[in-house]
């Protein structure tokens, strides 16, 4: 990111060769931070999980000027009256986020963002990026976060080489960076023209008091960092910089998908805190979606895990927001009819949030002739069963619970990270397992044998054993809410799954309860809406779906109860039970901890025994109505801090 080498390439190579010769003659002189040690000689077994000391959170997003100004308003309301925060605006590079830890001057650890709480160890791969110093003059610990990325021109060269070798190309710079950084062989990573730009100084001895000064401070260590940052005294100035960045994005040598506005002062950041998902001191401004025009070649139908048939457009490949797009969402048959989209049309495509391509409109003026209107098939394209559309729903669904497409999607959901977290079980493997009839439901995964899996395409003995080991690792010890989420019950996501797991300790307890009683307890005691409660009741009442959970129990899949931490005995709030809702100045889990330390019970939802509801910003109307109906006291955030001072 400095782009200011002190030596030419020829002189660098001469000195490098001289160092290699010296180290060969004197092996005991070799330093681990030597440039010759950037690329180790061995391929690793896998990427080791690494917990982050502080979660790598996502950012709240804004897509309009009003959204950016709302961010400024929220910041000012949370800070003492009269505080005038200054901001920094910087481009949001489209790459893969990493965390680097230097200890006593040596690069000790580098990890990916992962799921936010836990990433993957990519230290050896990151060491291959020549612009990253392995040794710096900094005592103690220095923790940095940044983006590994690739220049657009460099990606074109990489893809040209991959075409010549008959290998699949990278779709976009982000995929190229992420795929290269996670390679098991660092020697392959070293061949990729990766770069690093640090955008956050998390910890550091003598770190300056502001973000902008801290990034400039990194120059003394020759650490590559985000250099296109602008200090702004007001939100008006910040908005002007955002508009300039959006205009300049085409002139940058790398892809950006937006720009970030950050509070500059670290002290103010600490006061602002964070929510469970994002810091309150930053917002990501997403640029308006790019659009492109291409031809619609076909409309095919995908079948999801709940049986929903979704039309997908097959397009003439077109470059859009840094990606070559060849398919896009059409959502449902009503949208196709409303927009009058027909095969053969010239269509306008955009990326929703620069992520999901979708067809915006058909250019009827360029239509040739009168092609037939497209109609949703009345039978499932995967299994041939009848596909029905229930009254009041936009979707058409396959009626066959044994549909292979539904099975495939259900297994992928079951094994996903938020659910049972089974590594090595990708779409290609699941396709083969379902096609061969070896896996019809999740419980069948636990009966797989390594020798059978090794017979699948592109599988070997080691990779087969890795898959079996990952499956068996999920057999015991996962929290019960993860299993509930993995079942794929309609409308039941991670949050509702945690609530259900707070009612029933494990799967046998849930199976032993009458389905109607389960629904009643969720609705009456935990304020779960009737639609979700009915979905849970229907899942447990239907023989086919109930059997899925029973078979998992029979296969020896066991979970650990999701226990809420106990309240401290004898605290000032002993005997009271709080439910916290809305957005507060501190993360939800931190508020819960403060309440428990003061002796209060904490409820995820309003129960019969709840005494107080703490209502922050953006509180749902139903929560307030339920509190009023049950006689629960409603406290503002200020009233909460009067009871439990912030630490």
- Residue pLDDT, tens place only, 300-335: 998 988 888 989 999 999 988 667 889 988 888 898
Q: Classify burial at 162, counting beta carbons within 10 Å of its beta carbon; exposed 0-12, middle 13-18, buried 19 or more.
A: middle
Between 155 and 589, residue with greater pLDDT: 155
Q: How confident is the model at residue 3 (pLDDT cuts 50, 70, 90)?
A: very low
Side-chain-facing half-sphere of 214: CA atoms under 13 Å: 22
CA-to-CA distance for 308 and 263, rounded, in angstroms? Answer: 44
Q: How confident is the model at residue 33 (pLDDT cuts 50, 70, 90)?
A: low
| pLDDT tens column, 109-159 | 999 988 788 888 999 999 999 899 999 999 999 999 999 999 988 888 888
Q: 248: which residues sit within 8 A by CB, 6+ positions away?
A: none
Q: How confident is the model at residue 638 (pLDDT cuts 50, 70, 90)?
A: confident
Arithmetic mean of pLDDT, 557-576: 81
For the chain, domains (ranges, CATH) are 58-286 (3.30.470.30), 291-388 (2.40.50.140), 404-473 (1.10.150.20), 478-560 (1.10.150.20), 577-643 (3.40.50.10190)
Residue 618: phi, psi to the nearest 5?
A: 55, 50
Q: 285: which residues sit within 8 A by CB, 6+ positions away?
A: 61, 62, 63, 67, 68, 242, 258, 259, 260, 261
> Is 201 within 8 Å of 218 (Cβ atoms)?
yes
Lowest mean pLDDT among 43-52, 151-160, 464-473, 586-595: 43-52
> Is 461 within 8 Å of 454 (Cβ atoms)?
yes
* Predicted local distance difference test score (pLDDT) of residue 332: 85
CA-to-CA distance for 338 and 596, rounded, in angstroms? Answer: 54
- Per DSSP, the three-state class of 42 is coil
604 is written with which tokens? Answer: 């995820």
| Residue written as token pair 């636990």 | 446
Task: Print burial letters for 273-287: b (CB count within 10 Å at least 16), e (below 16).
Answer: bbbeebbbbbbbbbb
Q: How far is CA 226 from the centre of its chain?
A: 23
In eight-state DSSP terms, residue 413 is H
How far is the first Cα of the chain from the last one, in angstroms, to the nearest whole number? 39
> Is 336 within 8 Å of 330 (Cβ atoms)?
yes
Give the CA dihedral 424, 427, 428, 434, nearest 10 degrees: 100
Q: How confident is the model at residue 41 (pLDDT cuts 50, 70, 90)?
A: very low
Which secondary-structure segment (H or E) carries 110? strand 106-112
Q: Which residues pair with 120 in a beta bridge?
A: 49
What is the DSSP track for 271-335? Answer: HH-B-SSSBTTEEEEEPPPPEEEEEEEEEEEEE-TT-EEEEEEEEEEEEETTEEEEEEE---HHH
pLDDT over 90 percentage in the chain: 47
61 is an active site residue: no
CA-to-CA distance for 352 and 370, rounded, in angstroms? Answer: 30
* Predicted local distance difference test score (pLDDT) of residue 30: 61
Arithmetic mean of pLDDT, 248-270: 92
CA-to-CA distance for 44 and 42, rounded, in angstroms? Answer: 6
Q: 416: which residues sit within 8 A by CB, 6+ positions away?
A: 486
pTM, full prediction: 0.55
In eight-state DSSP terms, residue 37 is G
Lowest mean pLDDT among 313-322, 359-368, 370-379, 532-541: 313-322
Catalytic residue selected from 61, 92, 262, 286 = 92
Between 97 and 4, residue with greater pLDDT: 97
- Where does residue 140 fall: left (phi above 0), alpha (psi -120 to 50 degrees), or beta otherwise? left
Does residue 491 carry a pLDDT above 70? yes
Angle between helical axes of 173-181 and 152-164 (0-180°, round to 10): 70
Arithmetic mean of pLDDT, 608-620: 84
What is the DSSP track for 507-561? Answer: HHHHHHS-HHHHHHHHHHHH---HHHHHHHHHHHHSHHHHHHHHHHHHTT--EE-
| pLDDT tens column, 187-198 | 888 888 999 999
Residue 474: phi, psi to the nearest 5?
A: -90, 0
Residue 126: phi, psi to the nearest 5?
A: -65, -30
Does residue 22 carry a pLDDT above 80? no
Q: How confident is the model at residue 362 (pLDDT cuts 50, 70, 90)?
A: very high
* Predicted local distance difference test score (pLDDT) of residue 36: 56
> Is 612 within 8 Å of 633 (Cβ atoms)?
yes
Does residue 263 carry a pLDDT above 80? yes
Q: What is the mean pLDDT of the chain?
A: 86
Does residue 2 carry a pLDDT above 70? no
Arithmetic mean of pLDDT, 491-508: 85
* Predicted local distance difference test score (pLDDT) of residue 329: 84
Q: How confident is the model at residue 42 (pLDDT cuts 50, 70, 90)?
A: very low
| pLDDT tens column, 203-220 | 998 999 999 999 999 999
CA-to-CA distance for 19 and 395, rounded, in angstroms? Answer: 66
| pLDDT tens column, 53-99 | 888 888 988 989 999 999 999 999 999 999 999 999 999 998 999 99
pLDDT over 70 percentage in the chain: 89
Does residue 528 carry a pLDDT above 90? no
| pLDDT tens column, 534-561 | 889 999 999 988 999 999 999 999 998 8
Neighbours of 210 (CB within 10 A): 20
540 is written with which tokens? Answer: 């447990």
* Predicted local distance difference test score (pLDDT) of residue 1: 47
In eight-state DSSP terms, residue 142 is E
CA-to-CA distance for 100 and 531, rounded, in angstroms? Answer: 45
What is the DSSP track for 159-191? Answer: HHHHHHTTPPPPSSHHHHHHHHHT-S-HHHHHT
Q: How confident is the model at residue 529 (pLDDT cuts 50, 70, 90)?
A: confident
Q: 336: which residues sit within 8 A by CB, 6+ positions away?
A: 299, 311, 330, 374
Between 302 and 20, residue with greater pLDDT: 302
- Per DSSP, the three-state class of 129 is coil
Q: How confident is the model at residue 7 (pLDDT cuts 50, 70, 90)?
A: low
* Predicted local distance difference test score (pLDDT) of residue 117: 81
346 is written with which tokens? Answer: 């010239």
Does residue 29 carry a pLDDT above 70? no
* Predicted local distance difference test score (pLDDT) of residue 37: 54
* Predicted local distance difference test score (pLDDT) of residue 619: 75
Q: 6: which residues sit within 8 A by CB, 6+ positions away?
A: none
């Amino acid at each position: 990111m400095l782009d200011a080498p002190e030596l030419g390439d020829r002189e660098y190579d001469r000195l490098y060769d001289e160092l290699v010769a010296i180290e060969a003659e004197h092996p005991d002189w070799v330093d681990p931070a030597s440039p010759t040690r950037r690329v180790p000689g061995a391929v690793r077994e896998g990427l080791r999980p690494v917990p982050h000391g502080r979660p790598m959170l996502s950012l709240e997003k804004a897509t309009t000027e009003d959204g950016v100004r709302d961010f400024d308003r929220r910041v000012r309301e949370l800070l003492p009256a009269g505080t005038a925060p200054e901001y920094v605006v910087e481009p949001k590079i489209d790459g893969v986020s990493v965390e680097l830890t230097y200890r006593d001057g040596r690069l000790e650890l580098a990890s990916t963002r992962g799921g936010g709480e836990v990433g993957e160890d990519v230290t050896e791969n990151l060491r291959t990026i020549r612009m990253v110093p392995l040794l710096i003059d900094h005592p103690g610990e220095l923790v940095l976060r940044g983006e590994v990325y690739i220049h657009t021109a460099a990606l074109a060269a990489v893809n040209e080489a991959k075409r010549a070798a008959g290998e699949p190309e990278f779709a976009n710079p982000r995929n190229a960076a992420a795929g290269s950084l996670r390679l098991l062989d660092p020697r392959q990573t070293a061949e990729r023209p990766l770069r690093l730009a640090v955008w956050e100084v998390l910890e550091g001895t003598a770190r300056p008091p502001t973000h902008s000064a801290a990034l400039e401070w990194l120059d003394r260590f020759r650490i590559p960092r985000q250099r296109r940052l602008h200090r702004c005294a007001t939100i008006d100035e910040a908005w002007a910089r955002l508009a300039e960045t959006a205009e300049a994005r085409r002139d940058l040598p790398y892809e950006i998908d937006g720009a970030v506005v950050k509070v500059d002062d670290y002290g103010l950041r600490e006061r602002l805190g964070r929510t469970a998902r994002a810091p309150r001191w930053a917002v990501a401004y997403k640029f308006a979606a790019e659009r492109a025009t291409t031809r619609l070649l076909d409309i095919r139908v995908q079948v999801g895990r709940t049986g929903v048939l979704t039309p997908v457009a097959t397009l003439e490949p077109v470059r859009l927001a840094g990606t070559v797009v060849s398919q896009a969402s059409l959502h449902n048959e009503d949208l196709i009819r409303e927009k009058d989209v027909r095969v053969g049309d010239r269509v306008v495509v955009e990326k929703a949030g620069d992520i999901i391509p979708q067809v915006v409109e058909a250019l009827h003026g360029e239509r040739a002739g009168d092609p037939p209107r497209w109609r949703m098939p009345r039978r499932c394209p995967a299994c041939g069963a009848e596909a029905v559309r229930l009254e009041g729903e936009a979707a058409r669904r396959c009626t066959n619970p044994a549909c292979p497409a539904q099975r495939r999607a259900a297994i992928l959901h079951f094994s996903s990270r938020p659910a049972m977290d089974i590594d090595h079980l990708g779409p290609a493997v699941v396709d083969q397992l379902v096609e061969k009839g070896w896996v019809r439901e999740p419980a069948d995964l636990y009966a797989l044998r390594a020798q059978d899996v090794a017979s699948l395409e592109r599988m070997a003995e080691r990779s087969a054993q890795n898959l079996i080991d990952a499956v068996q690792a999920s057999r015991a010890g996962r929290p019960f809410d993860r299993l509930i989420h993995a079942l794929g019950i309609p409308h039941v996501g991670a949050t509702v799954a945690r609530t259900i797991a707070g009612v029933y300790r494990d799967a046998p307890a849930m199976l032993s309860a009458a389905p109607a009683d389960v629904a009643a307890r969720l609705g009456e005691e935990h304020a779960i809406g009737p639609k979700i409660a009915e979905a849970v009741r229907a899942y447990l009442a239907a023989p086919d779906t109930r059997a899925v959970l029973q078979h998992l129990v029979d296969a020896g899949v066991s979970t650990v109860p999701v226990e809420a931490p106990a309240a401290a005995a004898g605290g000032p709030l002993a005997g009271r039970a709080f439910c916290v809702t809305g957005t507060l100045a501190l993360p939800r889990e931190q508020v819960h901890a403060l309440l428990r330390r003061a002796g209060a019970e904490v409820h995820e939802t309003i129960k019969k025994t709840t005494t107080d509801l703490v209502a922050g910003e953006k509180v749902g109307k139903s929560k307030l109505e339920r509190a009023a109906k049950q006689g629960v006291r409603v406290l503002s955030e200020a009233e909460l801090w009067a009871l439990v001072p912030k630490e």
